[in-house]
Amino acid sequence: MPGKLFIVPTPVGNLEDMTYRAVKVLQEADLVLAEDTRTSSVLLHHYDIHTKLQSHHKYNEHQTVELVKERILGGMNVALVSDAGTPGISDPGFLLVRTCAAEGIEVQTLPGATACIPAIVSSGLPCDRFCFEGFLPQKKGRQTMIESLAAETRTMVFYESPYRLVKTLEQFAEVFGPDRECSVAREISKIHEEHRRGTLAENAAWFKEHEPKGEIVIIVAGVQQKKRRNEERDEKVERFD
C-alpha cells in the first residue's frame, strides 16, 4: 500500500506558530524532506522530533523527485517542509506535488504559516480580492511584468529581498505612480516585526534612510476603478486626436 505526501507549513518567525497537527505529522512521518536540513533541524529539535531529515531544494529536486516518489509508492509517508512558510509558495515543492499527484499518490497539504496573509491583512488595504505575484524576476522580464500590472484593480502582494526593496519601490512608483498606497511588512511573527504604511514614494524614501533587514512583503493597492476608467477614456481621446 502506497504512503502519502504531506506538505507541512513551518513558522515564518515565532517557533510557536507550529500547529499541533504539523508537529504530529512530522513525528509520525518516515522521512522529512527539508529545504535546508540545518534550518529544519532547529525546528525539529525544538519539538523533540527525531524523524530522519533529507535535503530537498531547488538545486537537487529534479534529481531526487523520482526517488522520493518511488519511496512513497513503496509505503513510506513523507513530509515536505521549507525553511519557513508553506512549501510550494515561492519555495520548493511544486515539482514533487505535481509528480505525486500525476502518479495518484495522496497529497495532504496542512494549513498553516505563510507570510503573505498576515502582511495583507495588516496592511489596511482591501483584502477581499488580491493577486499574489511572489518574487519579481531579478533581470529579464522584470520591467515588463511590472508594467503589465499597472491596470490591476486588485491589491497586489510581492515578496522581496531587503537588498532590492528600495529599487523595487522606486520602480513601482515610476509605473504605478508615486502616490499609490502601499505597505511594507518586515520580519513577520518575529521580535522586530514592522509594518510601514504610506505611498510608494514615502516608503522608498524611508527605506533609503533606514536600511531594511529580514524577510519583506510588499502590499500595493490596485488602481481605483474610477481612475482606470478615466485613463482609458483619455487614451481613447488621444487616439482620435
pLDDT at 239: 60
Quick check: 87 and 93 in contact, CB under 8 A? yes
Query: How many CB atoms sit inside 10 A of residue 149's CB?
Result: 19
Q: How far apart are CA 95 and CA 114, in angstroms?
A: 19
pLDDT at 224: 85
Nine-digit cell at 86? 508553506
Confidence of residue 225 (pLDDT cuts 50, 70, 90): low
pLDDT digits (tens, 9 = 90+) for 70-102: 999 999 999 999 999 999 998 889 999 999 999
Measuring CA to CA, which residue among 178, 156, 157 is closest to residue 222? 156
pTM of structure: 0.87
Identify the H or E element spanning 239. Answer: helix 225-240
Phi, psi of 110 (to 5 degrees): -80, 140
SS3 204: helix
Q: How far apart are CA 56 and CA 176, in angstroms?
A: 38
Q: How far apart are CA 141 and CA 196, in angstroms?
A: 28
Q: How far apart are CA 136 and CA 140, in angstroms?
A: 10
pLDDT digits (tens, 9 = 90+) for 131-167: 999 999 988 899 999 999 999 999 999 999 999 999 9
